[in-house]
């Protein structure tokens, strides 16, 4: 089993080594392959990711990714969008579940939402033109992409509360009707109960009543926004993990960005990267080990071993040391 390790830029260089320390507590037969991708590589070599890098990634089973800085330069090729497209990692899965001891933007602490986001189309199709007086982006939605993301969402829903919420804006954006109707058809074929929400109403109601929702399926942009909104619900973007999945490969990453303002200060929160490792362990059918990692995170928070974004004063290294000790003593 080959694991590509990409630290990326900024705090990615701090949180991924922390996550690997936790992963290495388990006896896994993983061949780690390190790659330098992102803005730092672009500054040195003129490309953030090369064809050779993509070939290496295509020959790996899974990827652990930190974060990359994306400059406004039109010549900069997005690393994330490139990898998702070239490896056809069409489903982005982001759990939104609070950690005991952390209160987010809502008083509710018993919600458990899974955002399933179409990952290859929509407004992230990279078909754009920017001029002096006019700019446009082409939004693509295909039945094939709608069907397969709906299938993934229904498979998760069937293992949980068997309910799916379909997010759209078809009252204004007519192309969304293809997404909505296709998801409805797939949900019916899976015998999954379902309803639909306009994306703006969904954002409002997720904050107001997150406990109402279970599995949420959305087009690319809507899913991106709603899952980041979930960071406020759970208390910090530094707590959100995610996975991008395709037919054979999986790409694990914390949701947060490269945070250049705090990079190198030793205060980056490693929890999202560590929880991404927990998702990696689940993908490897090591659910017991994944649960130990999640329990370690909760224990760290409740022992007040946490970074400044969570109201603590611990360093990245101190949080990592606690997590590693916990995992080693419970596995």
**Active-site residue numbers?**
124, 169, 200, 224, 228
**DSSP state, 88?**
T
Q: Quick check: 83 and 245 in contact, CB under 8 A? A: no
Q: Which residues contact 103 (CB under 8 A, 6 or more apart)?
A: 109, 235
Q: Quick check: 104 and 98 in contact, CB under 8 A? A: yes
Q: Quick check: 126 and 98 in contact, CB under 8 A? A: no
Query: Tokens standing for 160?
Result: 């949980």
Question: What's the full length of the chain, in residues?
Answer: 331
Locus of tokens 């498979």 = 155
Task: Evaluate the CA torsion angle 34, 37, 39, 43 in order and state its sign.
Answer: positive
3-state helix, strand, coil in the chain (%, to 5): 45, 20, 35
Distance from C-alpha of 226 to C-alpha of 203, rounded to nearest angstrom: 6
Task: Evaluate the CA torsion angle 199, 205, 207, 210 in order and state its sign.
Answer: negative
Q: Which residues contact 181 (CB under 8 A, 6 or more apart)?
A: none
Q: Quick check: 2 and 63 in contact, CB under 8 A? A: no
């Amino acid at each position: 089993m080959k694991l590509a390790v990409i630290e990326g830029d900024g705090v990615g260089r701090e949180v991924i080594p922390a996550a690997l320390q936790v992963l290495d507590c388990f006896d896994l037969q993983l061949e780690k392959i390190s790659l330098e991708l992102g803005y730092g590589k672009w500054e040195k070599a003129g490309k953030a990711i090369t064809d050779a890098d993509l070939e290496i990634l295509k020959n790996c089973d899974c990827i652990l990714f930190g974060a990359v800085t994306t400059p406004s330069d039109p010549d900069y090729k997005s690393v994330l969008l490139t990898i998702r497209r070239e490896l056809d990692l069409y489903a982005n899965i982001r759990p939104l579940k609070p950690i005991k001891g952390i209160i987010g933007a809502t008083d509710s602490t018993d919600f458990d939402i899974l955002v399933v986001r179409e990952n290859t189309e929509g407004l992230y199709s990279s078909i754009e033109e920017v001029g002096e007086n006019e700019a446009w982006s082409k939004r693509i939605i295909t039945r094939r992409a709608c069907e397969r993301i709906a299938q993934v969402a229904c498979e998760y829903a069937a293992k949980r509360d068997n309910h799916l919420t379909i997010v759209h804006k078809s009252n204004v954006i007519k192309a969304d009707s293809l997404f909505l109707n296709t998801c409805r058809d797939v949900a019916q074929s899976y015998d999954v109960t379902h309803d639909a929400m306009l994306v703006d109403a969904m954002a409002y109601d997720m904050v107001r009543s997150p406990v109402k929702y279970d599995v949420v399926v959305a087009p690319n942009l809507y899913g991106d926004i709603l899952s980041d909104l979930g960071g406020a619900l759970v208390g910090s973007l530094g707590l959100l993990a995610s996975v991008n999945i395709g037919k054979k490969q999986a790409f694990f990453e914390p949701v947060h960005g490269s945070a250049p303002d705090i990079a190198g200060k030793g205060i980056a929160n490693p929890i999202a990267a560590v929880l991404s490792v927990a998702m990696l362990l689940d993908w490897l059918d090591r659910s017991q080990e994944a649960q130990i990692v999640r329990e370690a995170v909760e224990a760290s928070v409740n022992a007040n071993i946490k970074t400044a974004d969570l109201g603590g004063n611990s360093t990245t290294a101190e949080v990592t040391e606690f997590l590693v000790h916990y995992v080693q003593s419970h596995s």
